[in-house]
Structure 1
Amino acid sequence: MNLYHLIQSLNPEQKSQLLHILQSESKSNQENLVEAKFHNGLFCPKCGCTENITKFGFKNGHQRFRCKNCGRVFNEVTDSFLMGTKKDISIWKKYIDCMLNHFTIRNTAEICGINKTTAFVWRHKILDVISSKTDKEIKLNGIIEVDEAFFNISYKGMRNLPRESHHRGTKANKRGISNAQVCVTCAIDRNKNSYGKISNLGRITIDSLNRLFENRIEIESIICSDSNSAYRKFSEGIGCKHIEIESGKHKNGIYHINHINSYHSKLKTFLRKFNGVATKYLNNYIVWVDNMIDEIEELMNIICKQRYRSFNDRKLIPVI
């Protein structure tokens, strides 16, 4: 209301200047998105055609294009996480800034002037795109440390649970490692490239290792792990040398698993601040730990090119 009264106190010339500034900012944001989306030239998101594309007017401030090959009408946000959004790009930038500073959903919603549910959905729209980018690009090579961490299955925020509900922090109903826990298998090389996901329920298996790291580990890499036999057999299967760190020892020459242990410690500390993370979203938070882009403009350029996954078909336990 204070802002409203302040605007009302402006004279017509000042109001005109304010409107010009806001429109210029909005136009600049749109132009930046167009450049980011079509940095290699215009293309149709439906048929991939790069020719016979013409301008097709404006709608809601967006320059539209039409593909004469298939008839598809599109703009710079078509098939991206921004498609269908009713908020200005400046709000998204403000949201990303809050996210990079690890603000809570409640605080972020207040700062951006959006609903808490919207703030939560936006978080996972962005993390979906980063996760997709990581899946396509991350390759591990050289000395690679691998290990697993375990988290109790969480149905936080869900209804019609497949088991009786219980309070956060309740111990698993089975002792030790069991199918009541998800196994998060992670790997990190000496170049600080990391990759981790929910691989299976309970103890790690060779099959789950093959699925998780398929085409992701370079030939002639050296895999360093604890004494779990699954890692030795997996290494033999992909033709990589395996170095085993015996129980009770910290290193074997230049080989150790200190980096992966540090990674898991960092992951658990990071997750603790969210007061429990639903298992269906756990993979996104794993990506957030080490693969989040920390520059707003760079992050906007990346996420404006891809679409998020549907929220309706996410598995409660996203085992690969």
Structure 2
Amino acid sequence: MNLRKFFEKYPDEASCIEGFKKKRLEMGIVCKKCQHTEHSFRKTDLKFQCKKCGSRISLRSGTVMENSNLPFQYWMLCIELMTLSKKSFSALEMQRILGHKRYEPIWLMMHKIRRVMSKRDEKYKLEGCIEFDEGFFERVDNKDVIDDKDDNNGDNPKQGKRGRGSERQAKVLVMVESEPSISAPKKGKPNRKVGYLKMVVMEDLKSETINKEVQKSVEKTASVLSDGYTGYSKLKEVIAKHQVVVEPDKKKSAKVFPWVNRTISNAKKVILGIHHNCINQQYVQNYLDEFCYKFNRRYFGDRLSQRLMIAALETTWY
């Protein structure tokens, strides 16, 4: 839904509480004490009471909102805004929109939602033909800059070596389903049909580390298309087929690996445009998970916010 429809449906805190309550009842609530499934709702303390043993469960319990003191309307609106935009919002911008005094609770709320996105995508494995490549994303240390504070104008306190050996670059394994297109592609479009995407921050890009991640993220029956990087030399141990294409010409390489190059480029532009490359090294994965979640559900349309809300109610934050 757009923002006008959102505020028509959820104009205040009470309507948001009612929305979360209805959704939890639809999903089903199980008593932690006696496993009974019938509950009544207490408006006085926002708890579900078991009709059999009388034990109570908070409306926030067992969800991403557990132990949070932020209003339900904040959570509802933040989920709506994060799915409404193809790109994203910085925590500072979200703080301004919500009118909250403190930055840190809003920053934490957004990262909790990103972890929900990550947990959802972890349930699925890539299959078919998959393009592989490495991406290198700018990151900062705690001592350099406060994560996600977008009012520093992207100032980079240190400049160092670029690429695979840089200490200021997060090493990311990028995998995207990419099947040859049956019909003739439109002008300017890739000749391969894109599927689902995964981006995983890696400690290193050695073959053993890559194979370990591939076993978690890719079906054994898949076939992989990659360049000649040595880290992919042992992929045949964990997948059915591995094709290596070494193409030094960048224009020709872009046609061989159209989607992995495009997704890396788009993710970098989002991080640069929204967060000015000032992402703490501990949270690079969270931002990439948000990008992948929305990319993988790019055709969901109005259903995206509802699907994320269901995922948020099924995911406990630890």
TM-score band w.r.t. shorter chain: 0.7 to 0.9
- Cα deviation, 1:99-156, whole Å, max 9, x if unaligned, reads 34334433321221212222211110111111111112x2211110011112355214
Partner Cα distance (2:310, 2:59) in 1: 11
Question: Are the structure 2 counterparts of residues 64 and 224 from structure 1 closer, same or farther at C-alpha, using a change threshold of 3 Å?
Answer: same
Larger radius of gyration: 1
Aligned residues: 273
Q: TM-score, normalised by structure 2?
A: 0.73
Correspondent of 2:172 among 165, 184, 190: 184
Question: Relative contact order (C-alpha < 8 Å, sep 6+): which is higher?
Answer: 2
Correspondent of 1:105 among 76, 91, 100: 91
CA contact (8 A) 2:49 2:56 kept: yes
How many percent of aligned residue pairs carry the same amino acid? 19
CA contact (8 A) 1:37 1:305 kept: no
Q: Indicate whether 1:224 and 2:225 are aligned.
A: yes
1:86 Cα deviation from its structure 2 partner: 3.4
Moved more, 29-38 or 274-283: 29-38
CA contact (8 A) 2:223 2:240 kept: yes
The alignment partner of 1:214 has SS state of: helix
Partner Cα distance (1:214, 1:90) in 2: 40
Give 2:285's aligned amino acid.
N
Give 1:108's aligned amino acid.
M
Q: TM-score, normalised by structure 1?
A: 0.72
Structural mapping, 1:107-122, within 5 Å:
107-114=93-100, 115-122=102-109
What is aligned with 2:117?
A: 130
Partner Cα distance (1:24, 1:184) in 2: 41
- Cα deviation, 1:236-264, whole Å, max 9, x if unaligned, reads 101421111113257999x9212101111
What is aligned with 2:181?
A: none
Give 1:188's aligned amino acid.
V
1:279 Cα deviation from its structure 2 partner: 0.9
- Cα deviation, 1:263-285, whole Å, max 9, x if unaligned, reads 11111111112021111010010
Q: CA RMSD in A?
A: 3.4
Moved more, 89-98 or 77-86: 89-98
CA contact (8 A) 1:188 1:259 kept: yes
What is aligned with 2:156?
A: 168
Q: Indicate whether 1:265 and 2:265 are aligned.
A: yes
Partner Cα distance (2:250, 2:242) in 1: 16
